[in-house]
Chain A
């Protein structure tokens, strides 16, 4: 199917080339896992980038240039990513998209900065759509990096904003994976909760080994006997699914507040019992009120890729903001586009998005989505999906965090 579509894309492009337009191709290299355990996740991302490109090409492309997205498999390995980056550069790519793994993003940021310093006139821009390490927009902020996802501190800001309005939550248990990300989530949760709801008692703060626990029941029983009425976790993958399953089996009846409850395959594993109890902080879900145009966009995607669900609204956002910036600058040169992106606002499907000029972090409305069995659009080909009402909406401005970024900009 994809072979066919890229063939069609190639055909379309060769026609435009023949028609003698002076237009260039705007090449985006998608550097993420396309094989191995995280392959399916990466493939979803690539599908959405390709779909976004296709849609914008149908409307005349970015500032008159056709967009071409090519996947480069990095196997979530920072070293391999640099090899793929070099390959992309050799192919004349000037835009890099990546999201899975902050370790990879970190390596890419360093390599791109070096490349841009050494090759003036051939600068490359990094569109980060999912790597959430806060340092990329703080201490390690960089002119060539733009993040279209909320960082992990902002997500915690949003989760705790929601908790603030929930009077019946009195005791919170924090549980996470024992590595840098889990620790960062725990620290942010503790800090935010003590600020926003000093009356809340944090009854437990626990880290478990990453990807090694098969039965979470002992942890859950600890959580239940602590009397917690909400649990916050940054867990992803099997660690998240097993934790939620064990919690529900043991009759934990509080809310389970997650970062990645919406990730691929989780809905099937959680099942009916998780309905109404599991929540996830996301920038979009397919059961939000959508304009006709946006609904058509989502349906078009799900019809084309029946295996996957529409998940990354931020990819659509990134593509549109890239197009707006290129038009504003009347150029597709990364330097001009980067300057145009700074401080830009975009009226997206969920509200107004702003790309902060001071640290290149997007501000967008976030939604504390709830797992539901009463949905118009389900996920994983099942009856379950995610919903969010007005009370679950966290405004873009409320997710703003202080930044320590000292941006150094190139001369225009």
Chain B
């Protein structure tokens, strides 16, 4: 019972963090058709900006301004970098973001050093919220949950209930048509790229003190975010949300289950002392996202809720 409750809570929170990180990427991906390799680096930038701002003032200021700053950096990157590279095709864009990821990594190391920085959870939220089966549950995690939910609601509202959202949705699938109707498509692209980066930055602000803020955090998160986007389906926020949740839950449940292959496939005559039988389910947890990626690409290439094939 307690395993289920804890895994549900942890899985949902981890899933929401993944969703915050990948929502921007899925927008950018479907808009430009290019995986932004530097996306996780913007996540890292968010954490570092938040660290610096919260040192100077407070976490709450950082919560608002760090994502905006990251968004501005993203918008600049799109305007002066990606747009120029765009004429040379998708491969050039892909390579551009690839190089950018390394560039951001190195710049972060030069400015903030190679070690982890002391980015703390705000004191106001640094207390155990409740105790469950002997383990405390930090208030900050629940706060993370609410921030992510608020972001999800806000994003859904903008995209589905406002005129701006309507134009963005149209530009995602039919950019030329939107252009002919007199909208400034490059500016829409820049805005979406900026907002996408800002969302990653927000995930960084929230995730940086919940996990660790160090120069490796971007590289560690990178691959798993791609999985969420591909599994969820191109351009589908709901799909990204679903995929992030499934991933988060599967991974935490896999860790929590104390079983070996032999316990499950024992009826096939698999022995617990054999190589295969002694593999634990928990040790498979980090493999699950990539297994999902491979399976989805094979069985359903457009992802869970995507409307286009890759």
Binding site for B on A (CB under 8 A): 37, 39-40, 178, 206-209, 211-215, 217-222, 224-225, 238, 241-242, 245, 249-252, 264-265, 268-269, 271, 380, 382
Contact = CB atoms under 8 A, between A and B. Distances in A.
B285 interface: yes
Contacts of A271: 118, 120
B133 interface: yes
B14 interface: yes
Nearest to A264: B115
A403 B131 CA distance: 48
Interface in B123-162: 128, 131, 133-138, 140-141
Nearest to B220: A214
Interface size range on B against A: 35 or more
Residue among A221, A225, A241, A268 with most chain B CB within 10 A: A221
A218 B135 contact: no
Contact of B285 (A209, A222, A251, A380): A209
Interface stretch (B26-34, B211-219, B294-302): B211-219
B175 to A, nearest CB: 35
Contacts, number: 89
B291 interface: no
A150 B62 CA distance: 45
B219 to A, nearest CB: 9
A225 B134 contact: yes
Contacts of B258: 222
Residue among A215, A238, A251 with most chain B CB within 10 A: A215
Contacts of A213: 285-286
A238 B252 contact: no
Given A209-B283, A265-B116, A250 B138 contact: yes
B118 to A, nearest CB: 5
Contacts of B128: 251
B122 to A, nearest CB: 13
B256 A242 contact: no
Given A215-B14, A245-B212, A265-B116, 13 more contacts: A208-B255, A214-B211, A214-B221, A218-B6, A218-B255, A224-B134, A225-B3, A225-B133, A225-B134, A249-B138, A250-B135, A265-B214, A271-B120
B110 to A, nearest CB: 13
A242 B283 contact: no
Interface of B: 2-3, 6-7, 10, 14, 114-118, 120, 128, 131, 133-138, 140-141, 211-212, 214, 216, 220-221, 252, 255-256, 258, 282-283, 285-286
Which 8 pairs of residues, A with B, have the shortest CB-CB distance?
A251-B136, A265-B115, A212-B286, A218-B255, A224-B135, A269-B116, A268-B118, A221-B6
A268 B117 contact: yes
B203 to A, nearest CB: 12
12 contacts: A37-B216, A208-B283, A209-B285, A212-B286, A214-B220, A218-B252, A221-B135, A222-B256, A225-B133, A238-B212, A268-B115, A380-B115
